[in-house]
Amino acid sequence: MFTLPLDLSRTRILVTNDDGIHAQGLKVLEAIARELSDDVWVVAPEMEQSAASHSLTINRPLRLRKLDERRYTVDGTPTDCVLLAVNQVMKDARPTLVLSGVNQGSNIGEDVTYSGTIAAAMEATLLNVPAIAMSQHYEPGQPIDWSAAAAHGAEVVRKAVTVAWPKNVLLNVNFPARPAAEVTGIQVVRHGKRKIGDELFERVDPRGKPYIWIGTLRGEADVSDDTDIHVVFNGGISVTPIYLDLTHTPTLQTLRQAFV
């Protein structure tokens, strides 16, 4: 059942991600979860599933492996992991909160439409479990500093679950690329939008066959200060509610008139 606010001392937390079971960000998120509860379970993909979006594996069987007590891996997508965790691994006592991440790289603006990290939180939400996706921004070519997520992650969750957000809503949290002590604060903001890039690399492989590698999808642009993009790039932690009903209600009447 979707129940908020939550008493974290009695909360059963499912931890998952899209970077895979061995990812550093998953270790950070496990530590965050254990600050909040003693009842923490991990079900994560065997391999990296970045940009998997909300994909479900239906054309082959899935392998679920137990690695340790309350720790499992699935040879599938983040969506698969949450589905199997809730309906198989934890079926006798479902999770009361799902945490997804901490993703290696931010999920801001239109990133949310591609993100496997957010997709895991979406699947939990569809299964009536409150969910929070977390991502750590970093600068290309620089070592990833996880300290912002590690230091502030538990605080974000504690504050978020003190209020009731509706069913079909999940939270998207992004940490800035700066040390924990330099974080400027936490802001609840909307998603921004960036300029779409067109970086495609055309090459020839060792066997003489051409291929195309997609590079940077988005260039930075001036964005409003009430967006996740602005907050994260200026040293803050962004929190954005995502609503899973994608219907554009104002257009319903317009279209109905066209189909009279």
Provide the strand spans (E) within 185-233. 186-188, 195-196, 200-204, 210-214, 218-219
Task: Identify the residue whose tokens are 């923490």.
Answer: 40
Q: Which of 142, 179, 135 is nearest to 156 (CA)?
A: 135
Residue 18 in marked binding region: yes
Task: Identify the residue whose tokens are 């909040």.
Answer: 36
Q: How far is CA 133 from CA 96, 209, 249, in A?
A: 15, 39, 26
Query: If phi over 0 gives left and psi between -120 and 50 gives alpha, with beta otherwise, what is residue 172?
Result: beta
Residue 7 in marked binding region: no
CA distance 60 to 41: 25
Structure tokens at 64: 């679920």
A 10 A CB-CB count for 187 gives 18
Residue 147 in marked binding region: no
In terms of C-beta density within 10 A (0-12 exposed, 13-18 middle, 19 or more buried), how is residue 29 classed? buried
Question: Which 3-state string (H, E, C) describes 23-56?
Answer: CHHHHHHHHHHHHHCCEEEEEEECCCCCCCCCCC
Residue 75 in marked binding region: no
> Which amino acid would we find at residue 96?
T
Asked if residues 52 and 134 have their Cβ atoms less than 8 Å apart, the reply is no
Q: Is the dihedral of CA 230, 235, 241, 243 positive or negative?
A: positive
Known binding residues: 18-19, 50, 103
Known binding residues for a divalent metal cation: 18-19, 50, 103
